[in-house]
Structures are given as C-alpha cells and as structure tokens.
Structure 1
Amino acid sequence: MTVQLGREQQLAGGHWLLGAAPSLQETRATWEESGSAWLRPGVLFGAVVVRAGVVHAALGTDSPIGCAPLVDVGGPVFYSDEGFGREGAYTALVPASVALVWSVNGSLPHHRRALLEVPAPQVVMPERAGRPWWVVPLDGPGLLCDPDLLAALVKQGTGAGDAEGGPGA
C-alpha cells in the first residue's frame, strides 16, 4: 500500500476550505463540475489579490506557468485571468486578520465576507479558460501565506516596475 501524503494534505486542505462555503454540498458539486466555486473569506482565511504584472516583475517572468515554481510566500496562491479587474492576478490566502489591515501598493485585500472564486484543490494547472488554478497548491488545512514574504514579493515587483516604468509605475 502506497501512501500519497501530498494528495492527503490537498484533500484535507480542500475539506478545510469548504468551511468557507455558503453551501457545503453545492460547493463540492460545483468544484467537481466546473473546477472552481465561490467561497466567503473572512473567518477561516483572508485573501490578498496581487496584480499579475507585479508578481511577474518580481520573479522576472511574464507567464503564470513560469511563475508557479518561483512563487514562495509560504502558503497557497492561485492565479485568475481576470482577478484584478481585467488584468490577471494572483490571490494569496492569508490569515483573516492580515487581510483586514493589508496595505501594500500593487495589491488589495479581498473584501471581508465578499465571495471569492477559488479553484478546486486538484486544479493545479490552467484547465479551462477564465477559471482560477493553484500556482502554489494547498498543503493542508489552515496553512496560509506568510504576510511578510507576501509583502516582500509585492514590494519587489512594484520596485522593479517603478525602475522600468512598468507595473508599479
């Protein structure tokens, strides 16, 4: 018998996320059918949305797939083609208290209790156009991004953009 710890952690993380679902059964079914569902951050976790251009400037690449192995903020991050208005964005799951006070140029806290489209735990590559996918997958229940690492990434990206007249300018 082979134990797949990564898969077990992913399932446990997904089950934990379902605690933020308006309807447990409906959300689980929607995850299965479409690969993403609407969750309500605010108690279990908060969310910070970072413009794709900021992350790309910080990591020196312009592709979400190219960024995936480079994003290191200590917790789960997903990408959406239209997460920041009409621009792509990375959404980092952070402690709920962090999202309440977040103020770093190039990023925005997701409004507490507003619905957020979150990919199903197993969606770790872009599968459907316009649907979010995990760049840094869930690694278990309650494991969230480190706010200091996230702030450093955003500041690096906005600094790179300022220097080049790009994303942070």
Structure 2
Amino acid sequence: MTTQAERQLAAGHWLLSAAPNLRKSRDDWKVKGSTWLRPGVLFGAIVIPADLVHRALDVDSPNQCRRLLATHLEGGPVFYSPEHFRREGSYTVLVTASTAMAWRSRGSVAHSYRALLQVPSPRASEPQAGDCPWWVVPLDGPGLHCRARPLAALITAGRLADDRTRGSRHA
C-alpha cells in the first residue's frame, strides 16, 4: 500500500523527466509551486478554455467542477491555469503523447511538443498566489493519462452548450 505522499513523489519524478533543467525545475516547484516542462514523450497536453469546461459541466469555477471533472474524465489528471486564453483561464489535461500529436478538436489546443508548458507541483491542489496553475484533478501517480474519448465528449458538450446559448440569444 502506498501513501498519497509517495504517489505524489513518484508523480513528481515522472513529470520532472520532461524538465529541460532538472535542478531548476525542482527548485521552481519548491519556491514557485510550478515549473516549465516540455511534454511530448511521456505525456502530452490538451488545453481547453475554462468557459467551455464550465459550460459543459454547468458550473462557474474550478472548485465547483472538481468532482464532476474527475468523474467525467475518469480520474484523468487535469490542472487549472488562471492566465491562459487571453487571461480567461484554462484547463490542461494530461494525455498520452500520441493522443496529443493526433488531436484535432475545435475548442481545444494540443500543446506542441516543442513548446514549454507551465505545470504545477504534484502537491499544488489548491489555488496559489499569482497566476500559478494548480491541480483540479490531481495526478495520482506516474504515467497516468486522461483517455481521449471522455475528453472529446467533454469538449463536445461544452461546444453544444455554447451553441444553445448563442441560439437562445439570437432567437
């Protein structure tokens, strides 16, 4: 049996394997609560505007959608960033690298394997000071990813809710 602290430590080591500079990334997690990693080998990332996720789940904030998001994405790891998408906030879902490379879904962006991604420390599961990201659905161990189907269904639900909202405004 493993403890949550042990799972967080293992998840942190796994994520840090994507660090361009291991020592700096480890220090940034301790001091800042987040660091810049380069996805593309062990994991990929799909970034979704917060308002789309909130419409899909019929909620108004990251705290309100924690449980719903965890259920809908079957426990797949997700973090919230308050500064993405023109400062509107976004959710980043960890997926397999191959899923991210093949991802094409209106309303979301596959994070390029060439670009750095700001990733919270595995211990950051509550809002932090400033614009630091934090886990809404924590990474519960190394190598865990969200499956593509439930993620695509979530994005589709958000787009449909948006279409219905726009239609009612124009009626």
- Into which bin does the TM-score normalised by the smaller protein fall? over 0.9
Q: Distance in 2 between matches of 1:108 and 1:96?
A: 14
Q: Which has the higher strand share?
A: 1
Note if 1:15 corresponds to 2:31: no
Return the offset for 1:85: 3.1
Output one character per residue of 1:34-67: Cα deviation in whole Å (capped at 9) or x when no partner: 0000000011111000010110001110111111
- Equivalence for 1:113: 114
TM norm structure 2: 0.92
**Count of aligned positions:** 164
- Equivalence for 2:154: 153
The residue correspondences of 1:21-100 to structure 2 (distance < 5 A) are 21-72=19-70, 73-74=73-74, 75-100=76-101
Counterpart amino acid of residue 52 in structure 1: A
- Is the 8 Å Cα contact of residues 49 and 84 (structure 1) preserved in structure 2? no
- Equivalence for 1:162: 163
Runs of 5+ consecutive residues of structure 2 not aligned to the other structure: none
Q: Distance in 1 between matches of 2:68 and 2:5?
A: 21
- Is the 8 Å Cα contact of residues 27 and 37 (structure 1) preserved in structure 2? yes
The residue correspondences of 1:137-148 to structure 2 (distance < 5 A) are 137-148=138-149
Return the offset for 1:4: 5.8
Secondary structure of 2:140's match? coil
Secondary structure of 2:69's match? coil
Return the offset for 1:25: 1.2
TM norm structure 1: 0.93
Identity over aligned residues, as a percent? 54
Return the offset for 1:7: 2.2
Q: Which has the higher helix share?
A: 2
Q: Distance in 2 between matches of 1:89 and 1:101?
A: 21
